[in-house]
Homo-oligomer: A and B are copies of this chain.
Amino acid sequence: MAPQIRRLQVAVSGLGRMGARHANHFLHRTPRAELVAAFTPDPKELAWAQANLEPWGVKIYSDFNEMLKHPGLEAVCVATATTVHAEQTIKAIEAGKHVLCEKPLSTELAISQNVLKVAKAHPNQKVMCGFSRRFDASYLAAYQTALSGSIGRPTILRSQTCDKYDPSGFFVAYAEFSGGIFVDCNIHDIDLALWFFSSSTKELPKVKSVMAVGVTALEPDLAKHGDVDNGVGVVEFHDGQIAYFYSSRMNAPGQHDMTEIIGTSGKLTVNANPTIGLTESHLPTGIHREIPQNYYERFENAFVEEARQFTDAVLDNLAVPIDMESSVEAVRIGVALQESLRNGKKIFFDKQGNKVEGGTRAKL
């Protein structure tokens, strides 16, 4: 019998590292979605698509605009390089499509704000930036506990994004376009701070100051791009909350992203005691366990859940789980941290998000 289920008609733009994964998720792991098209300008990615997508009936395009005209297409997942996230998202919105865009919207605040403006002009379309951690079961469990009130008011948040060291020099090349470690890595942690700090009030917290420092411990060439391989950033918010972040490109055993949400009556930790799976080895050299080797090993299920919730939001006309204002605010903070890292200064903001001169006495 032929299925009678309506399935969201989705295209994925970009079939690189994450694009190929998104394509697989919509193709095989999102029952209510049907991957119908994909775009890539890259010969290697095209070859992969011919082997892995075409046999399942997915049409491959080498022109993004053409792909947007695919018959019946309803939604686009933008997973190209960060530099074209905003442009493609805007085009897709203007073509009447729902959009799931990889993070960050852009490495520049003004461009991110423009995406938001376009999205707001199309209120009947769903537009969401894919902050995958919000779909991870452990973060969701923490969020539910925070909502329950058992930790009181979330007041301090510590969060880190630490990649396994890659000796190939990849990180240096990548830094040219990534926006820097705070925009590329800690953007996730910033997003978590915005999420948890607004859990009780449902209002986005307003940044008051940012300060960042960093070092190039293993990759001095990162300095060419104004970047570091280890960064520490501190963000104050106007309503008496503090988030502090660490990012690193030199974690030895693998990926170690962790978060603590510290409230007035309790604390939640996510991944304080990292592991992959439930196996330990008791050997003459001690007790050993392994951890994920990269963020996809850690967050694979979260990416799948992201695709599912985005699909549900479109099909059932629900609010998307992450609002765009928050994703723009994350860019504001990430860009400011990167700026502070580069100029060595603490940067202050008024409650409207405008930079102001600092030096006023802190009200303790």
Please list the residues of chain A having a beta carbon within 8 angstroms of any beta carbon in chain B: 1-5, 27-29, 31, 54-59, 137-139, 141-142, 145, 150-151, 153, 155-156, 158, 209, 211, 213-218, 222-223, 226-228, 230, 232, 234, 236, 240-242, 244, 246, 248, 250-253, 256, 262, 264-275, 277-291, 341-346, 358-364
Contact = CB atoms under 8 A, between A and B. Distances in A.
Q: Which of A269, A290, A358 has the most CB of B within 10 A?
A: A269
Contacts of A281: 145, 150-151, 266-268
B242 A266 contact: no
Given A213-B362, A344-B359, A364-B341, A253 B268 contact: no
Given A361-B342, A361-B344, A282 B256 contact: yes
B290 A286 contact: yes
6 A-B pairs with the lowest CB-CB distances in the bound complex, closest first: A344-B362, A267-B282, A138-B277, A223-B364, A1-B57, A138-B278
25 contacts: A1-B58, A5-B56, A28-B29, A28-B31, A138-B277, A141-B290, A145-B279, A151-B252, A156-B217, A211-B211, A214-B242, A223-B363, A251-B282, A253-B285, A266-B282, A268-B282, A269-B280, A270-B279, A271-B278, A272-B280, A273-B273, A285-B288, A343-B361, A344-B358, A344-B361
B277 A158 contact: no
Contacts of A28: 29, 31
Contacts of A277: 137-138, 141
A364 B342 contact: yes
Contacts of A138: 277-279
Nearest to A217: B155
B253 A283 contact: yes
Contacts of A241: 215
